[in-house]
Structures are given as C-alpha cells and as structure tokens.
Structure 1
Amino acid sequence: MLRRFLAAGTLACSAALISGCSLLNQQAAEPNPVQTKEVPAVVDEVVAALKPLEGRDDVPSTQEFFDTMTEAGYKPEQLEATIDASPLGNDVPAKMFGVKVDDGCVVGEIRSGNITAHLAKPTESTGTCLLGYVERPEGVDAPTGDERDEDSDDNGAGHMPGEDMNGEDTEEPSETGGSDEGTGDGGGEGSGEEEESTEAPQLGG
C-alpha cells in the first residue's frame, strides 16, 4: 500500500510540474500587444470623402479630386493637389493632395486605387499643405509670403532672411584709391627691371 501511495504521489507531482511548465510556455509565447497610433477623425473624414476615387486602376485627375471633395462639402480654398503630368509631360504614378483643416493639413495620395493620408503641419512660410507644382480650384489664388515691412530688414514669411527682394538694399561699393595706388612708382620700377634684364646665353657655336 505504501508503495502504491508513493507512486500515486509521484505521478501527481509530475503531472503538476508538467502542467506548470506548459502554462509558463503558453504565457511566454503570447506576444505583447502592439500599440497602434490612433488616426485623427479629420483624416478618416477626408479618406471617406474620397471613396468614389478608390479602387481605380488609373490616377484620378486633379479636377476629379476637386469635384469629389467639393461635393462632399469641402470648400475650394481648402484643397490642393499635384499636377496631372510631370513638367516634361510624363504620366504621374500617384495623385498627391492636401486638405486644409482646423488641426493643420490632411496630406495624402491616391496610388494604385488605394488612398492613404495623415495629419501634418502646414508650411511656415505660406501656410500651404503642398510644395512644388501645385494646382488649386479655379478662383483660388496661390498664397504669397507676408508683405515686407519697409522699415525692417525682415523680408516676411516666404522669403529668405536678408534676401534683397526689391533691389533697394544693396549698398554701393565704397570708393577707394586702391586702383590708383596700383599705378605709379610701382609700375615704373617694374619696367626698369625689364630694361636691365639681358638675354640668356646661347649654347653651341
């Protein structure tokens, strides 16, 4: 009886150890949850408004983007998009767009039928969402830099610091006598040395 009791106890302990090891292995194998960044609601709203342009094989035109967004309730002055062709006339692989919102700019692209976007800050110089060759709806003027203060060296946003935009700040070169000093006794001495020089002796007969 004692042997049977000891054998049963040994089996019970072994089973408990195996169960404990299995539990530890399961806990170790569970991956840590990945922290995903929450997409702002304004980004989801823009992407939802562009659903009619999703799933297409071709790249939608700029005008199609403008029409789709205005039909969704966005104002023309909020919209920017890249040109339909490169400056050399080649096709573009994607349509980049920018939508000005209260929180900044929703910048994204339409590529191979897929729409991606994220929230970004507008440019500091002009407050636009996109740089480079950008188109805007008809009647919307491209923004310019801040007007220059006539009594300040600051050229305003959109201009390089210290840049002479009007051509009025360039100082005239100061008049010096450097050019006159160069001609005088020094020139005479140089010519005198040339007169004293003799021809190199010729070898041979």
Structure 2
Amino acid sequence: MKQTVTDALGRLAAGTPKPATAQVTDALTGAGIPPAAVEVSASRTPTGLEADAIEAAVLQGTDCVVGQVRDGNVTVIVLPVLASGKCFVGAAA
C-alpha cells in the first residue's frame, strides 16, 4: 500500500505541485484505494488561504499510510492507527 500511495501522489504532484483536496482523493481512489479508507486534509485554510501542504492517509488494518505533498515533493510514512480507528485527529475533508 505504501508504494501505491507513493506512486499515486507522485504522479499527481508531478503535474500539480499544490493539489486540492479533491485531486488527492481522486488520485488515491483512482489507484484502486477504496474511498472509505481514504482521509485527506484541507487544501485551504478556514480563511481561504492555500495550505502549505496537503496530507492524505489510507487506513490499512492497524496501520495508516500517510502521505504529504508539499511544493511537488512527496513524503510517505506508515504510522499506527489512532484509538479512534482513524488516521487523522478531528474532521477530515
């Protein structure tokens, strides 16, 4: 799964260095990841400013594959799932 997330976000970031939330969601689900397993951060702040980076997480069993796109660069890491059963704290888009 880590490689799938890395590849999907890498392809997206190559053409869109600062993708929107929906673009990240589409890239991951387009790579065959079930929508229910995907969490994506907001690409805009509550005041309408562009976020410095966007993060996405894919729930896989007891792990979260978390990826970040920042200025066209992609970083992916595997972390344990939270006690809530989610990968992010709070609301996710």
* TM-score over 0.5 for the pair: yes
Distance in 1, matches of 2:60 and 2:87, equals 10
1:55–1:131 CA distance, 2 compared to 1 (3 A): same
Distance in 2, matches of 1:132 and 1:86, equals 15
> Does residue 90 of structure 2 align to residue 132 of structure 1?
yes
Equivalent position SS for 2:14: coil
> Does residue 28 of structure 2 align to residue 69 of structure 1?
yes
Q: CA deviation at 1:121?
A: 0.8
1:111–1:62 CA distance, 2 compared to 1 (3 A): same
8 Å contact from structure 1 (residues 105, 120) kept in 2: yes
Partner of 2:54: 95
| Identity across the alignment (%) | 29
Kindly indicate which of the two structures has a greater share of residues assigned to strand: 2
Q: Which has the larger radius of gyration?
A: 1
What are the residue-to-residue correspondences of 1:124-163 with 2, within 5 Å?
124=83, 126-135=84-93
Letter in 1 for 2:88: L
8 Å contact from structure 1 (residues 104, 120) kept in 2: yes
1:58–1:114 CA distance, 2 compared to 1 (3 A): closer
Q: CA deviation at 1:115?
A: 0.8
Return 5+ residue gaps in structure 1 as ranges: 1-41, 136-205
Q: CA deviation at 1:74?
A: 0.6
Q: In the comparison of the two structures, how many residue pairs are matched? A: 93
- Over the aligned positions, Cα root-mean-square deviation in angstroms equals 1.6
Distance in 1, matches of 2:89 and 2:61, equals 19
Kindly indicate which of the two structures has a greater share of residues assigned to helix: 1
Letter in 2 for 1:50: L
Q: For residues 31-87 of structure 1, what are the alpha-carbon distances to aligned partners after superposition, in whole Å with 9 as ceiling and x for unaligned?
A: xxxxxxxxxxx3222101223212346411111111111111110001001112112
Partner of 1:112: 71
Equivalent position SS for 1:54: helix
Partner of 1:81: 40
Distance in 2, matches of 1:132 and 1:58, equals 25
8 Å contact from structure 1 (residues 83, 133) kept in 2: no
Partner of 1:142: none
Distance in 2, matches of 1:109 and 1:100, equals 15
